[in-house]
Amino acid sequence: MAGQPGTRNLPNASALRYLWQERRTSTLGVDQSGVWRFRDLLPIVAEERVITLREGNTPLYEMPRTAAALGLNWLLAKHQGMNPTGSFKDTGMTAALSVAVASGFEWVACASTGNTSAAMAAYAARAGVRSLVLIPEGKIAWGKLSQAMDYGSTTLQLRTDFDGCVRVLGEVVKRAPVYLLNSVNPYRLEGQKTPAFEMMEQCDWQAPQHVIVPGGNLANCSALGKGFAEMMHLGLVHQAPKISVIQAEGANPLYRSLQANGGAALEPVVAKTRASAIQIGNPASWKKAVRTLAWTGGWCEQVSEREIALAKAEIGAEGIGCEPASAVTLAGLKKLAADGRVGREETVVLLLTGHTLKDSDYTIKYHLGELLSEAEMESAGSAELAEHARLRRAPMVLDADADAVLRVLDAQPSALGPA
Ligand code: F0G
């Protein structure tokens, strides 16, 4: 009714649900995109200016064996690594790059731990604009570096860390007409809120109790939070999930800040973790992350390199796979479930942010037993060692002889064993 503050002009929730679903059957690029089919809530660029690679529409997988091992009834993984460039960054990049091009920029740029640069390079190439990538030398996974090159970016490896690259880029964009595509760009967050809409569609509009995300530069948690807040405002859902953020122990400035002062101030750290995507010591969006944890009631946890490696292998053994940074979600969930912060009856969605092929070096080293040092493994208990032994699948070299192959087959355990 006209004059009712707050509800006037709001779109009808059921009509939106129907429209979003219906667009999936269309042949138009903007309809096939899992970001732009929600364009009613993305009023940032005209439809005909959209640059899309048909991002989004990623699967929500069940993880029954992992759920059983954790004593949970129900565990799901939303795999954002199934996006066109293999990471969740595509949903934000389609939005921000479309704005950059519509605004007339010829150059776009980002500092990155690898995935943002891969996404930016691809979308810039689609749009026909130039892109500049600043990455820390020797600190990103080869798969990601190869993407930036393949998609034609000018790729600069700076002798510093990610935080150093951000600093340099800040100066560059002040001195040259280059559009900044780091996650402080507000349009990226607009795109990155859409997986929340998709997740709700996939859950029949019943919000899960928990969504767990990895924390690096700390933009993604608040982007999802914004998605849930908008759905609540529109009456599409009635409650938001608790959004929890998991950091690697060696790159844990948010965790430390929450322990030390409840998130009032953040002391940057020198970051060191094999989960290179989240090797970030001075996260740009930490204040937004603190607000998101507060309003949704989520937690921040930290996990060790050993815990990350094991969780990654477990996600792989479910036939899903992910890159190391994504596996912190499962490692963190184990902690939340162990002390009752996540209950058996509650539904949990892990947000897997990157594809397993992004960092195959890590995976191969793990299975060869070369990833973790002896010193790191020293304090591992017998149950943990047994779990590693169960999951490791080092490739064997054999003569080209069927008998030799059959002998290996005979020696295999009869069942995969409990998860
Ligand atoms: N997972 C993956 C695979 C990532 O690439 C990143 C961030 C994150 C999680 C953390 O997300 O920064 O929103 O907290 N990667 C950025 C990059 C920094 O440059 O690709 P966040």
The residue type found at 163 is D
Give the mean model confidence (pLDDT) for residues 229-252: 97
Q: For residue 113, which atom of ligand 1 is closest to its CA?
A: 19
Q: Quick: pLDDT tens for 330-386.
A: 999 999 999 999 999 999 999 999 999 999 999 999 999 999 999 999 999 999 999
**Residue of the CA atom closest to atom 12 of ligand 1:** 217
Distance of CA 277 to the CA centre of its chain: 9
Neighbours of 87 (CB within 10 A): 29
Considering only CA atoms, give the Rg of the chain.
Answer: 22
DSSP 8-state symbol, 307? H
Between the CA of 137 and the centroid of ligand 1 the distance, in Å, is: 17
Residues 6+ apart with CB under 8 A from 1: 8
Between the CA of 127 and the centroid of ligand 1 the distance, in Å, is: 23
| Residue 354 three-state SS | strand
Amino acid 2: pLDDT: 40
pTM over 0.85: yes
Instruction: Output phi, psi for 201, to 5 deg.
Output: -55, -45
Give the mean model confidence (pLDDT) for residues 129-142: 97
User: Tokens 């999930």 identify what position?
Assistant: 241
**Beta carbons of 320 and 363 less than 8 angstroms apart:** no
Q: For residue 219, which atom of ligand 1 is closest to its CA?
A: 13
Between the CA of 115 and the centroid of ligand 1 the distance, in Å, is: 7
Neighbours of 246 (CB within 10 A): 31
Token pair recorded at residue 310: 């094991």
E strands, 91-234, where? 107-111, 130-136, 154-158, 178-180, 210-214
Query: With pLDDT > 90 as the criterion, what percentage of the chain qualifies?
Result: 95
> Rounded distance, CA 57 to CA 202, Å?
10
What 3 state SS string does 25-71 have? CCCCHHHHCCCHHHHHHCCCCCHHHCCCCCCCCCCEEECHHHHHHHC
Between the CA of 235 and the centroid of ligand 1 the distance, in Å, is: 30
Q: For residue 217, which atom of ligand 1 is closest to its CA?
A: 12
> Rounded distance, CA 348 to CA 242, Å?
9
| CATH, range 10-87+186-419 | 3.40.50.1100
- Sequence spans of domains, the chain: 10-87+186-419
Neighbours of 206 (CB within 10 A): 10
Give the mean model confidence (pLDDT) for residues 168-197: 96
